[in-house]
């Protein structure tokens, strides 16, 4: 097991996707001979996912991790979950924010790697409230989720029409 795998499954467990982690661990238990210390430690956790998260975190922090690789794997996982209808757009955006928040606050992580995931939840909320169009949201969302193209804020904010006073009053009373 490498540190990137540990980080990836730590994140999935944190998000509540334990079935993927269980499959992965079972594969290691069946194929590794002799079992490595980390796999043994994880096997002893049983159903205690918090303990498994702690062990994975400790293991991955012992050496540097290719965060871009992990971020891309998470993106592909969420892409698959969206396209197989396991998650909708809102759930994917929320999961991306949860991933970035798990890594740390916006000043704690590498914004180049995790920054896009951090922003999509807010962009989704803005589209839902009519501040930005769904067309603009979908454009940057699918560019990112399907192809890994970083979020182009210009696509979201170009030709942004500031709501009139009357439109703002209408939005206020909708809530």
The tens digit of pLDDT for each residue in 47-65 reads 899 999 999 999 998 898 9
Give the global pTM.
0.81
pLDDT at 151: 85
Q: Where does the chain have alpha helices with state H? A: 3-15, 18-31, 37-45, 49-60, 67-83, 89-103, 111-128, 134-147, 153-157, 165-174
Where exactly are the structural domains of the chain? Answer: 3-60, 82-157
Spatial distance between the Cα atoms of 77 and 147, rounded to a whole number of angstroms: 13
Instruction: Please identify every stretch of the chain with a pLDDT value under 50, giving residue numbers as ranges.
Output: none
Chain-centroid distance of CA 45 in Å reads 24
Buried b (16+ CB within 10 A) or exposed e, 95-107: bbbbbbbebeeee
pLDDT at 157: 76
Structure tokens at 7: 């980080």
Spatial distance between the Cα atoms of 11 and 14, rounded to a whole number of angstroms: 5
């Amino acid at each position: 097991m490498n540190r990137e795998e540990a980080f990836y499954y730590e994140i999935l467990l944190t998000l509540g996707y334990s079935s993927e982690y269980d499959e992965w661990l079972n594969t290691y238990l069946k194929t590794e001979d002799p079992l490595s210390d980390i796999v043994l430690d994880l096997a002893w956790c049983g159903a205690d996912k918090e303990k498994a998260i702690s062990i994975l975190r400790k293991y991955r922090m012992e050496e540097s991790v290719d965060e871009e690789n992990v971020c891309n794997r998470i993106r592909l996982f969420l892409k698959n979950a969206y396209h197989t209808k396991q998650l909708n757009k809102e759930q994917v955006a929320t999961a991306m924010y949860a991933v970035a928040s798990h890594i740390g606050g916006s000043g704690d992580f590498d914004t180049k790697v995790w920054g896009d995931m951090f922003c999509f939840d807010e962009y989704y909320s803005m589209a839902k409230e009519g501040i930005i169009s769904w067309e603009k949201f979908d454009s940057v969302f699918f560019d990112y989720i399907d192809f890994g193209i970083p979020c182009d804020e210009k696509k979201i904010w170009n030709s942004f029409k500031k709501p009139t006073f009357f439109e703002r009053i209408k939005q206020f009373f909708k809530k």
